[in-house]
Amino acid sequence: MTWECFDVSIENKVAHVRLSRPERINAMTLAFWRELPQIVRSLDSGGGVRAAVVSSSGKHFSAGMDLSVFQDAAALDTSTVAARRRFAAKLAELQASLNALADARFPVIAALHGGCIGGAVDLATACCLRYATRDAYFVIQEINIGMMADVGTFNRMPKQLPEAVVRELGYTGDRLTAERAERLGFVNGLYDTHEALVAGALDTARRIAAKAPVAVAATKQMISYARDHGVGESFAYLNALQPGIFSVEDIRRAVSAAKTGQAAAFDDLPPA
């Protein structure tokens, strides 16, 4: 399909979703919020994609939310009960768009360069892994325009960075440099150029795609559950999950591949 805000390609079980509106600094327009979940769910539903990379074009990853999302002044009205319900419904719609990244069965890797601002930080936190260029930076921009971030940053980032750092960034709107983000564990690795960044992220995605897809999907599911629940609850969840996905055949394939040095031929995930 042809998309307004994205270029999408699939090669060797790896999807590459690229923000493609550099002339708009890849601002997150109405079309962006509509297209992203459609793309991710389409990639997930077939079962053939085993990992995905989200990258961007131009000087910056994204300037964040485009004001056209709220082109109707009524969308920002909270003066009545009915208006507040409309506002909450719109908010849930935006959140669901980025939740598609977290909910996909395959891991999603963010390749971030230049500015990652406002809503783009929400997007980055919804991904499993984050790599960045050394000159990249992150800004919780919402506080700089008199509001609270509300599409995922404060729901996910406190579990990805020390709380005091999130508070500092959320209160001040200051930049978090990629160098500091890597030291704190928010970013997995740094690259000198945009080209090297995308190549490195795709290489990581290919290494993930070479593993047993059912086991990778279950690993993503298990880590996310353990993040949000206590140790006892997470053991109970694991003990229910593992018998349902355990595959002796996949283990045999993996062991054989390790012995021969050949890539294992795992079955794709079943269609969703």
80 confidence band (pLDDT: 50, 70, 90): very high
pLDDT in tens, 55-73: 999 999 999 999 777 767 6
Locus of tokens 């990639």: 43
CATH code (residue 240): 1.10.12.10
Lateral strand order in the sheet of 51-55: 6-11, 14-19, 51-55, 108-112, 129-133, 189-191
Q: Which pLDDT does position 83 carry in this prediction?
A: 92
- DSSP letter, residue 65: B
CA 237 to chain centre: 24
pLDDT in tens, 160-218: 999 999 999 999 999 999 999 999 999 999 999 999 999 999 999 999 999 999 999 99
- The lowest-confidence range among 39-53, 64-78, 103-117, 207-221 is 64-78
Which residues on neighbouring strands pair with residue 108, listed in sequence order?
52
Q: Return the closest-CA partner of residue 62 out of 101, 25, 33, 29.
A: 25
Distances (CA, A) of 149 to 5, 75, 84, 171: 23, 17, 17, 11
In this structure, are 71 and 119 located in the same domain?
yes
Q: Which domain holds residue 184?
A: 6-209
Classify each residue of 233-271 as buried b or exposed e, where b means 16 or more C-beta atoms within 10 Å of its C-beta. ebeeeeeeeeeeeeeeebeebbeeeeeeeeebebeebee
Distances (CA, A) of 266 to 2, 40, 76: 30, 22, 49
The total number of structural domains in the chain stands at: 2
Q: Name the phi and psi angles at 62, rounded to 5.
A: -170, 140
Q: Which pLDDT does position 260 carry in this prediction?
A: 95
Identify whether 271 is part of a domain: no
In this structure, are 40 and 108 located in the same domain?
yes
1 confidence band (pLDDT: 50, 70, 90): confident
Distances (CA, A) of 1 to 5, 13, 138, 162, 187: 12, 18, 31, 40, 31
Q: Which pLDDT does position 73 carry in this prediction?
A: 66
Q: Return the closest-CA partner of residue 19 out of 67, 70, 60.
A: 60
CATH code (residue 195): 3.90.226.10
Percent of the chain with pLDDT over 90: 95
| Position 54 pLDDT exceeds 80 | yes
Q: Give me 197's structure tokens.
A: 């960044």
Record the pTM: 0.96
- Contact call for residues 185 and 160 (beta carbons, < 8 A): yes
In this structure, are 119 and 49 located in the same domain?
yes
Segment 252-266 mean pLDDT? 96
pLDDT in tens, 112-151: 999 999 999 999 999 999 999 999 999 999 999 999 999 9
